[in-house]
Amino acid sequence: MLLLLETALGLSGLVAGIYVSALIHDHRIADLSASQYVAMHQMRDKAFRCVMPVVGLANLGFVVAAAAVAVGSGLPRILTVIAVVLLLADMALTMGRQLPLNAQIQSWTDSTIPANWSQLRDRWAAQHVIRALLGLGAYACLMTAALWPALK
């Protein structure tokens, strides 16, 4: 059961790290021209479109399993269930908001970038901040649940 919890922690940390790296990467994204932004976003989306579904689903599966069998009752289990809820909220936001924006941006060429491209960029970025907070929150809950026996 310890390996189950360690795997859940590792995957949750990986997801949170990916989210934070995008925040760092996008810190000065407003400095990019429209075509520079589109090229960067399309490249990044193509890479993560292959990786994140597998990592995200594996993460959710291991955190659910940890909630069911790998953490103790009481506060650790509550925190792990909260982590599951946060991961589900992240997935809902991703599938309902981020992926449609990604698909829209993937369809752009230099000659078809819409006039409101920066508003769409900013909407994607704001939603990603929420995703990062959800991912970091899930990781913090899971880490606290794992460390709780030692903290008591």
Residue 16 is predicted with a pLDDT of 97
Residue 149 is predicted with a pLDDT of 86
* Band of pLDDT at residue 150, cut at 50, 70 and 90: confident
What's the pTM value of the predicted model, to 2 decimals? 0.94
DSSP state of 111: T
Q: How many domains does the chain have?
A: 1
Residue 1 is predicted with a pLDDT of 80
Long-range CB contacts (within 8 A, 24+) of 65-68: 65/4, 65/8, 66/4, 66/5, 66/8, 66/142, 66/145
Domain enclosing residue 10, as ranges: 2-151
Is residue 87 within 8 A of residue 134, CB to CB? The reply is: yes
Mean pLDDT in the chain? 96
Per-residue pLDDT of 114-147, as tens digits, reads 999 999 999 999 999 999 999 999 999 999 999 9
Structural element, H or E, at residue 6: helix 2-25
Per-residue pLDDT of 67-107, as tens digits, reads 999 898 999 999 999 999 999 999 999 999 999 999 999 99
Q: Residue 136's closest CA among 25, 22, 4?
A: 22
Task: Copy the structure tokens of residue 67.
Answer: 């909630």
In the chain, the amino acid numbered 33 is: S
Q: CA 98 to CA 130: how far, in whole Å? A: 11
* Band of pLDDT at residue 152, cut at 50, 70 and 90: confident
